[in-house]
Amino acid sequence: MNILQSFILGIVEGLTEFLPISSTFHLIASARILNLISSDFLKLFEVVIQSGAIATLLFLYTKTLLTDKKLLLNVFYSFIPTAIIGFLLHNIIKTIFFDSNWLMFFVFVGMGLIFLLIEKNPPVLTKNCTELTRNHAIIIGLSQAFSIIPGVSRAGAVIVAMMLLGYKRDEAAKYTFLLSLPTIFAASALDLFQGRELLMTISDGWLLLGIGFVTALVVAYFVVKWLTTYLSTHTLEIFGWYRFVLAGLLILFKVLP
């Protein structure tokens, strides 16, 4: 990996982590386009740039969580099922799911179809995050757990679940950001712990890690700001069509599956 490649992957992570289009799917496809061979360093790099994206939320939403105890508690309730399933299936996630190109591809396209179907006849959306109940929080957490499959998108799973429960799209986006804090932090911490030996021994990779981290952080900041504004007046349709178009291009240029 060189500096340009680390910069590009940082941009991809920042753009896709909080949009309902699956950052994992995009990083895998981008790595192939850049001719990057799967390695322990590349896996570590992806964890680091994901941490950069989550750092954006620390700036934007830490105060919100610390000053709203009910919201903080609901985020905890949502996090529990995701944490349990993610911990139990961690090895399967990193091997079987990540190595199954056809699974990723069809899931990616399938989620796009779900977006279009739900927006064709959307439910009545009137609720705010302040109306979130414990039971709804747990349901949302279970829905987020499906995002362990590359291509689903954690944000997409949460937003769809909350729409079905009657929450406004922009409120659902806000909640997925809040839920990202413990979810991505825990996942990244586990991956970094398991890769601690590599982290301690790399000598010439720190610059690449730093560039990717900062790039993802900066780009993600503007994406988070944009998405909540966009979903306050628009639907998920654009993300559904985007998935179909990207899938077609990846097939055309033989990138995936």
Average pLDDT estimate for 214-238: 96
User: pLDDT class for 192, splitting at 50, 70, 90?
Assistant: confident
- Average pLDDT of the chain? 91
Q: Which pLDDT score, from 0 to 100, does residue 101 have?
A: 82
Output the six-digit token pair for 143.
């829905």
Q: For the chain, what is the largest distance between any 2 Cα atoms, rounded to a whole number of angstroms?
A: 55
Most confident of 39-53, 57-71, 220-234: 220-234
Q: Which pLDDT score, from 0 to 100, does residue 89 have?
A: 78
The domain ranges of the chain are 3-252
DSSP 129-149: GGG--HHHHHHHHHHHHGGGS
Tell me which of 187 and 164 has the higher pLDDT: 164
Contact between 62 and 47 under an 8 Å Cβ cutoff? The reply is no
Q: Which pLDDT score, from 0 to 100, does residue 98 have?
A: 67
**Percent of the chain clearing pLDDT 70 (strictly above):** 96
127 in helix, strand or coil?
Answer: strand
| Residues 55-60: contacts with CB under 8 Å, at least 24 apart | 55/213, 55/217, 56/217, 56/220, 56/221, 56/224, 57/177, 57/178, 57/180, 57/181, 57/224, 58/181, 59/221, 60/177, 60/221, 60/224
pTM of the predicted structure, to 2 decimals: 0.92
**Percent of the chain clearing pLDDT 90 (strictly above):** 70
